[in-house]
Amino acid sequence: MGSRVEGPHKVSLPTVAVISAIASCTAELSTFPFDWAKTRLQLNGELGNRANFANISASPPNHRGMIRTMLDAIRKEGLGVVFTGLKPALVRQATYGTLKMTMYQHFKDKFSSRHIRGDYTNMLSAVASGALSSALCNPTDLIKVRLQGGDPKFQYRGMTHALISIVKLEGWSGLYKGVVPTTQRATLISLLTLPTYDFAKRALLTKDHDRWYFHSRDDSYTHFLASIFSAIVSTLGTQPIDVLKTRMMNQPFDQHGVGMLYKSSFDCLVKTVNTEGVLACWKGTIPTFFRSGPWCIVFWCTYEQLKRLNAPSTHSL
């Protein structure tokens, strides 16, 4: 596919790291309440509210939708409740988001030097960067999910207290509970987000579409449309794994660190479908999109503008 790239100026990896961190944290801060609502909805109705499991705290109360979830929580706990877990979320974006974009650019450069076709280069780079960055940053995601879940069995006063409590009660390995579904999700979301944005942007700027409105217009409106396309694809494709990840992280564990509800991601999938039906795998899809849509828009538009400050003539990711 021919893409319009005139006089490309290569952005250095340190620059990619800095602008990725700023763009990721800006996007996270702008959309966090939707992420909070998504987590609550994903835990809603879990194994019949765990009614059949002894000595396990009840799940958060049933909610009928994103708005009702948020309003009920705000009414009971105050407006600040929808920002519970924000600190670990920002730390996660400052690490995971930065590593993902930096490694994505690095792998694209490496794979491109081996004459691999552009689309395949982007896909391989997305898989590698998503898997590695998410695995390394799993502790921040775990703490964020537990703080958001509001389960009484996790009485954390904040991010630092959560970190200390997890290490003390569950060992260092406790910080990597749910790492498999987390890595699976991050790998898939990277595969469905990064290359799809590249693809959509190239399609909007291709030389072959002489009558297309966006021909030769690499501007914020183009970035907006490409990010929306990326958000739709990634949300629908990754939601089931996101549900499993949330439930695996939030489940109670025995004194040996073994999950009391699920043995593995597959076991969680089977129990979820048997108990709540296959559509339960897409619980929280609406708040996920309300988060991922604006998140992608804010991230990519911020990223592109910051990149232009460093290299005004650059038109490719």
180 found inside a domain: yes
With beta carbons less than 8 A apart as the criterion, state whether 70 and 33 touch: yes
pLDDT digits over 133-171, tens only? 999 999 999 999 888 877 777 788 889 999 999 999 889
274 lies in some domain: yes
**How large is the angle between the packed helices 179-205 and 138-149, nearest 10 degrees?**
100
pLDDT tens-digit series, residues 285-308: 888 888 888 898 999 999 998 988
Structural domain count of the chain: 1
What secondary structure letter does DSSP report for 264? Answer: S
Over range 85-112, report the average pLDDT.
Answer: 90
Residue 237 covered by a domain: yes
Q: Tell me, what's the pLDDT at 48?
A: 55
Residue 4 resides in a domain: no
Answer yes or no: are the C-beta atoms of 272 and 244 closer than 8 Å. Answer: yes
In a domain, 316, yes or no: no
Say which CATH number the domain at 176 has. Answer: 1.50.40.10
Q: Which residue has the tokens 């069995």?
A: 153
CA distance 298 to 227: 9
* Residue 306 covered by a domain: yes
Give CA–CA dist 84/39, Å, rounded: 11
Q: What is the pLDDT of residues 124-139, one digit of tens each?
A: 899 999 999 999 999 9
Q: What pLDDT, on the 0 to 100 scale, is given for residue 47? A: 63
- 8-39 pLDDT tens trace: 456 788 999 999 999 999 999 999 998 888 88
DSSP line for 143-201? HHHHHHH--TT---SSHHHHHHHHHHHH-GGGGGTTHHHHHHHHHHHHHHHHHHHHHHH
pLDDT-derived band at 206, boundaries 50, 70, 90: confident
- Using pLDDT thresholds of 50, 70 and 90, give the confidence band for residue 213: low
Q: Is residue 7 part of a domain?
A: no
Mean pLDDT of the chain: 82
Least confident of 209-213, 233-237, 272-276: 209-213
pLDDT band at 60 (very low <50, low <70, confident <90, very high): very low
**pLDDT value at 270 more than 60:** yes
Q: Is the pLDDT of residue 107 over 50?
A: yes
Whether the predicted pLDDT of 316 surpasses 90: no
CA distance 281 to 245: 11
Residue 170 lies inside a defined structural domain of this protein:
yes
Q: Rounded CA gap, 316 and 8, in Å?
A: 8
Q: Would you state the structure tokens that stand for residue 258, as one six-digit string?
A: 């073994």
* Domain span holding position 164: 13-310
Cα 209 from Cα 224, distance rounded (Å): 19
Token readout for 5 is: 């790239």
State the pLDDT at residue 44: 74
